Structure 1
Amino acid sequence: MKKHANPRHRATDFGCGTGKSFRYLAPSFSEVVAIDISQNLIDIARESGYPNVTFKRMDLTEENLDLPRTDFAFCCNVAILPEPEGNQSILRNIQQTLKRNGTALVVVPSLESALYSSWMLVEWYRREGVETHEIPESELSYFNGRKNIAQGVVFIDGVPTKHYLETELEVLFNSIDLSIDTIDRLEYDWSTEFDSPPSWMAEPYPWDWFINSRKNRLKNPLNSSGFFAF
Structure 2
Amino acid sequence: MVRVVLADDEAVVRAGVRMILSADPEIEVVAEAADGRELVEAVRAHRPDVALVDIRMPRLDGLAATAELRAVAPATAVLIMTTFGQDSYISRALADGATGFLLKTGDPREFLLGVRAVAGGGAYLSPSVAARVIRELTGDELTRTTTARDRVAVLTGREREVLALIGAGLSNAEIARRLHLAEGSVKTYTSTILGRLGVRNRVQAAVIAHDARLVRRE
User: Which category describes the TM-score, using the shorter chain as reference length?
Assistant: 0.3 to 0.5
TM-score by length of 2: 0.32
TM-score by length of 1: 0.31
Q: Which has the larger radius of gyration?
A: 1
Q: Which structure has the highest helix share of the two?
A: 2
